[in-house]
Chain A
């Protein structure tokens, strides 16, 4: 079946603009995660959605970052007033209900803030 898809694959934006990144998880996966990978760094957890529970937002670096998940499926990560340090690859992953830890990742969105 189809894997996790993300759009756009690349995004170049000017500092101060808002951006929206989209994630379509694997059908039937109830858990959805956002991570980001800055240059030379490992993956950094941002936010986690599980079913109808309140999301775990503990990884969001500032209040300029927000995410929502509509209908338990598609998720959108929004970054307001982008800064150059927001440049990174943003990765989305999904998994089945716990206790499955096998997260399936999308190809990522490469965000460049100029």
Chain B
């Protein structure tokens, strides 16, 4: 039962262009969503988050959009840089029931070409 899905295993983008990573979820109890970035041989690092009371959150080059009716969120990176090349995981949590326990998607490998 995959409650959080990232349907694109990989994405390749040219430096300077926009990267759009997508994530879908099925559990309507989820009310907090996060994106993590992971380099090889390292643990995931927190990137950006959004609460279900918002539909957009922006932090520098990173913007997360949430469409609750479609149960869909996306991460936009603009402009993309070669150092952004990593695996990106979206994660979700149900505030009232799971104490911050995160459910992760399978990840999307982003490659940004110089």
Q: Give me the interface of A with B, judged by CB distance under 8 Å.
A: 4, 31, 33, 35, 40-45, 48, 50, 56, 59, 91, 93, 95, 98-108
Contact = CB atoms under 8 A, between A and B. Distances in A.
Interface in B83-100: 89, 91, 93, 95, 98-100
A105 B104 CA distance: 14
Contacts, number: 66
Contacts of B89: 42-43
Interface residues of B, number: 26
Contacts of A101: 32, 34, 49, 93, 100, 102
A33 B102 CA distance: 9
Interface of B: 4, 6, 32, 34, 36, 41-46, 49, 89, 91, 93, 95, 98-107
A43 B102 contact: yes
A40 B106 contact: yes
A43 B44 contact: yes
Contacts of A108: 43
Contact of A105 (B45, B49, B99, B100): B45
